[in-house]
Structure 1
Amino acid sequence: MPTVRKGIFVAVCILALIYLFHSRQPATIPGAPGFRPVTKISEEEQSSLKQQRTDRANARQRHALSFGNAPLRNRLRYQFPYDLRSRFPAYIWQTWKYDPSSMWFTDSLRESEASWTTLHPGFTHEVITDDVQRHLIMYLYASLPDVFEAYDSLPLAVMKADFFRYLILLARGGIYSDIDTVALKPAPYWLPDELDRSRVGMIFGIEADPDRPDWHDWYSRRIQFCQWTIVAKPGHPILRDMVAYITEEALRMKKAGILKVGKMDTTVMEFTGPGAWTDAIFRYLNNPDYFHIAPGEKNITYEDFSGQTGHRKVGDVVVLPITSFSPGVGQMGAGDTDDPMAFVQHRFDGSWKTDPSL
């Protein structure tokens, strides 16, 4: 009996060893379908990861290519995002044919140009020459070639100067002011102390408020906002809209063969100047994407700014009265240069650059 039990025990042990041995073997044998050595598995995983990386790179490239076909305003928004909470950059931008260090820089402009540096010691003050303008726009808008094409195609220097102010403020922000303006007060004092700067993205002033029946004989709009001095944070939607509008109009006329002096179907005022600028501002102030406009609610019009004598904040923009950037004109309610609201004086000496083609 003990011998039988011992034999059974030995048999069970042998069967258990056989089971354990076979359970540790691969399900397939070398050469059988589906067999993958460890080194082969590693190679396939690496190949798969490489393919995944290639696929992702191709997807990014396809996205970039398709993004190039997106509406210009969307591409501008992506390239130059708007952050209302940021600070106003401490830049002062001006343009002229010559650099202030040049012997050709106009003597009559030296006092006005120097006023900006004197009153803004902590700011970077740049006077951009015509030649530098072109290269700077090429650099800043390298990913938006249609914008540079539009700029480079403009037939008049004054148009390029107009376009440049919107382009540089959209990309870099700060203060733009014509070379023939005089700073009367430092920019940090243009807003009242109690106004939260983190809730303001742009500052501009009223150029004209002609409360008379024949206003259209003298100005392009009943209320006209000046663009010889603008303060903005980079990426502001008004600037984005203005850049897109000028680009689209320029390329349209170029394609039609009329982007030439004497052939354009729009004037400088309506294309790049105060008329177009004023329209862009009102488009923004009445855009339901940025402002809550209840059904039946009255749009913002010239009536909301006519006769204005102090600061007026609408959303993230502050509108200054005519005195702020046009003191001493002696009309339309403008105060003198010693008025507390007088910030910048425009001398109208050279903003049109004495362009011989005009």
Structure 2
Amino acid sequence: MLTFRKAVIAAVCLITFIVLLSTSHSTSQPQSVASTSGNDDTAQSPPQQAQKKSAVQQQTLESIADKPLREKLRYHFPYDLKSKFPAYIWQTWKYTPASGWFGETLRPMEASWTEMHPGFVHEVVADDTAIHLIKYLYAGVPEVTEAYESLPLAVLKADFFRYLILLARGGIYSDIDTIALKPASDWLPEKLDRSTVGLVVGIEADPDRPDWHEWYSRRIQFCQWTIQAKRGHPVLRDVVATITEETLRMKKAGILTKSKMDKTIVEFTGPAVWTDAVFNYFNNPDYFKSETGSPKNVTALDFTGITEHKKVGDVVVLPITSFSPGVRQMGAGEIDDPLAFVKHEFEGTWKPESERRVGGTIN
């Protein structure tokens, strides 16, 4: 006969059994789902998913590290033509405007860019911080950082910096001794679709004379004191790769010094290599094909004497007046010309003070 004591013991045992069964079922359920699910992401906990994603990213980076330089640059800085031009203005100098050492003659020039572009982020990157920015942006492409650090002259680093910052971030680069005459929103005709333009360059020199080579490095020379670009543009990728390769070549050969380089500054990092990169792009069959299927041979003759913008693919070339007004040669207009956008004072900030040309010295 079931006594009261036995009934209590039986009830306690039953309750304990039910609790244990419930606990066992709840803890085993995720294991059952994991074993029957075909989707690893739903089966894994958030930490496991994060670990798996990190492993995949690491594997991708390791495979990219073995690719040629241009492929690595393409991966790290993809180009999106339809994106907007980034609202950045980049300049570089020995000091920032906050420093008391920033030259007083430069202040109105630097301020003109902020005044003309109130909604833009305007950065003057000091020489001693530029390397840290480059190391951060190009952490995945260490040969670029090595090349930058190896350059033996400040002017070479200043040249290289403009291409590096535009490739990684996009926006406008302009030399510290330039004056913004009109905002960038006025540089292109209003009717021109900005989603079809990825690079804006201006003509520096158009010496239509037989002895042009005695004065300039190229028959048509594009200026690189002012450039507007979208992040990752192929021309920037090419010029960064070219300068990196040439720098490391000369370093390996033991001729990368102030006095032993086998290239001039203009050819190494200046307007010559920049002009070549633009024309190489125009004549690259991977980007441009004519109706016959072969690339058109784009030459200096396609740009000589132009008095308005000319669009080739996703590149707009501005006439000489736009970035070189007031030079009073080669057909350039004055600074009050409707197409005058940027005035370059040609201070020669990278030269010794005794060799600078305009407006006295810069401290």
TM-score normalised to structure 2 length = 0.82
Q: Distance in 1 between matches of 2:218 and 2:60?
A: 42
Q: Distance in 1 between matches of 2:294 and 2:52?
A: 51
2:302 equivalent among 299, 304, 308: 304
1:178 is matched with which residue?
Answer: 175
User: Deviation string for 1:249-298 (max 9, x for gaps)?
Assistant: 11111111111111111111111000000000000001111111336664
**Residue 276 in structure 1 maps to residue 273 in structure 2:** yes
SS at match of 1:107: coil
Quote the offset at 1:192 in angstroms: 0.7
Structure 1 residues 353, 168: closer, same or farther in 2, change over 3 A? farther
Structure 1 residues 296, 145: closer, same or farther in 2, change over 3 A? closer
Q: Distance in 2 between matches of 1:88 and 1:270?
A: 28
Decide which structure has the larger Cα Rg and report it.
1
Q: Distance in 2 between matches of 1:90 and 1:62?
A: 34
Q: What amino acid sits opposite 1:138 in the alignment? A: K
Quote the offset at 1:213 in angstroms: 1.1
SS at match of 1:244: helix
Q: For the Cα contact (< 8 Å) 1:153–1:250, is it kept in 2? A: yes
Q: What amino acid sits opposite 2:170 in the alignment? A: G
1:113 is matched with which residue?
Answer: 110
Q: Which sits farther off after the overlay, 261-270 or 333-342?
A: 261-270
1:221 is matched with which residue?
Answer: 218
Unaligned runs of 5+ in 2: 1-27, 357-363
2:337 is matched with which residue?
Answer: 339
1:290 is matched with which residue?
Answer: 287
Quote the offset at 1:349 in angstroms: 1.1
1:235 is matched with which residue?
Answer: 232
Q: For the Cα contact (< 8 Å) 1:157–1:353, is it kept in 2? A: no
Q: Distance in 1 between matches of 2:90 and 2:52?
A: 44
Q: What amino acid sits opposite 1:262 in the alignment? A: S
Q: For the Cα contact (< 8 Å) 1:158–1:355, is it kept in 2? A: no
Structure 1 residues 101, 58: closer, same or farther in 2, change over 3 A? closer
Quote the offset at 1:143 in angstroms: 0.8
Structure 1 residues 55, 344: closer, same or farther in 2, change over 3 A? closer
Q: Distance in 1 between matches of 2:177 and 2:61?
A: 42
Quote the offset at 1:191 in angstroms: 0.6
1:3 is matched with which residue?
Answer: none
Structure 1 residues 210, 60: closer, same or farther in 2, change over 3 A? same
Q: Distance in 2 between matches of 1:263 and 1:290?
A: 37
1:1-358 alignment, distance < 5 Å: 61-293=58-290, 294=292, 298-354=296-352
Quote the offset at 1:101 in angstroms: 1.3
Q: What amino acid sits opposite 1:108 in the alignment? A: T
Q: What amino acid sits opposite 2:66 in the alignment? A: N
Q: Which sits farther off after the overlay, 66-75 or 202-211?
A: 66-75
Q: Distance in 1 between matches of 2:53 and 2:120?
A: 43
TM-score normalised to structure 1 length = 0.83
Q: For the Cα contact (< 8 Å) 1:179–1:350, is it kept in 2? A: no
The two structures, once aligned, show a CA RMSD in angstroms of 2.5
Identity of aligned residues (%): 67
Structure 1 residues 295, 109: closer, same or farther in 2, change over 3 A? same
Quote the offset at 1:56 in angstroms: 9.0
Q: For the Cα contact (< 8 Å) 1:175–1:231, is it kept in 2? A: yes
Q: For the Cα contact (< 8 Å) 1:156–1:355, is it kept in 2? A: no
User: Deviation string for 1:334-357 (max 9, x for gaps)?
Assistant: 00000000000000114425389x
Structure 1 residues 290, 106: closer, same or farther in 2, change over 3 A? same
Quote the offset at 1:86 in angstroms: 0.4
Unaligned runs of 5+ in 1: 1-37
Count of residues in Structure 1 that have an aligned counterpart in Structure 2: 316
Q: Distance in 1 between matches of 2:79 and 2:167?
A: 9
Q: For the Cα contact (< 8 Å) 2:289–2:295, is it kept in 1? A: no
Structure 1 residues 89, 295: closer, same or farther in 2, change over 3 A? closer
